[in-house]
Amino acid sequence: MPKRSTYHHGDLKATLVSTALEVIAEQGIAAVSVAEVARRAGVSTAAPYRHFASKQALLIACAIAAANALATQILRAQEALGSQGEATDPVEATAAASAAYTRFAAENGSGLDLIFAPELQNAGDEGLLRAGRAVMDALLPSALAVTGGDARSALELLERQIAAAHGYAALLRSGFLSRRHPTVDDIASHAAAIARSLARETHRRSRA
């Protein structure tokens, strides 16, 4: 990929993050180097260090950006269910969240890989912790509403719903589903259907 000829003044940090995500999408996390990101961004190898002290700091910034984007997509999907102030069905809210999660995973796999990257799990970065909490804050309220406030059951429900979302996204990205030529919308719909079924069963058990 050729060097970018220019970047907007003041946007170098964002450019470096988006460029690093491009490298990860193409070659994986292990392939990222500050030098390669700088080359692709069209800046000197020293320029990134004005914003990031190390490769890990750059990866953390990428993970934060990805987590915040994921949280935003989930919240928007849930907010879109409401109309004219009517209460949103929590079962449908969890289904909408699963669909949004699946779309993000299918379209931004590199960012999702970073969020769960083992090398960042114990980084202790407060910004990364806040971003992770933002994702959970987007997912958990509707799950708690389904379970009547039972936190353990809500977390189990989310685990199953997210597993389905990850599974569909991974199968699409790997080409396993290529015979049927599904779209991102198709797999998001399938993941939402599974999430809806799981939520209804969980809700039924919580009231038994």
- Better pLDDT: 72 or 1: 72
Cβ atoms 106, 184 nearer than 8 A? yes
Instruction: Report the Cα 24 to chain-centroid distance in Å.
Output: 14
The predicted pLDDT at position 122 comes to: 80
The predicted pLDDT at position 86 comes to: 55
Q: Name the range with the highest mean pLDDT among 17-26, 30-39, 147-156.
A: 147-156
What are the residue ranges spanned by the domains of the chain? Answer: 1-52, 64-207
What whole-number distance in Å separates Cα of residue 160 and Cα of residue 29? 26
CATH 3.50.50.60 holds for 64-207: no
Band of pLDDT at residue 60, cut at 50, 70 and 90: very high
195, pLDDT greater than 70: yes
Q: What CATH number labels 1-52?
A: 1.10.10.60
pTM: 0.85
The predicted pLDDT at position 207 comes to: 80
Neighbours of 148 (CB within 10 A): 13
Cα end-to-end span (Å), the chain = 59
Band of pLDDT at residue 152, cut at 50, 70 and 90: very high
The predicted pLDDT at position 9 comes to: 47
The predicted pLDDT at position 85 comes to: 55
Instruction: Pick the closest to residue 99 from 117, 83, 76 (CA basis).
Output: 76
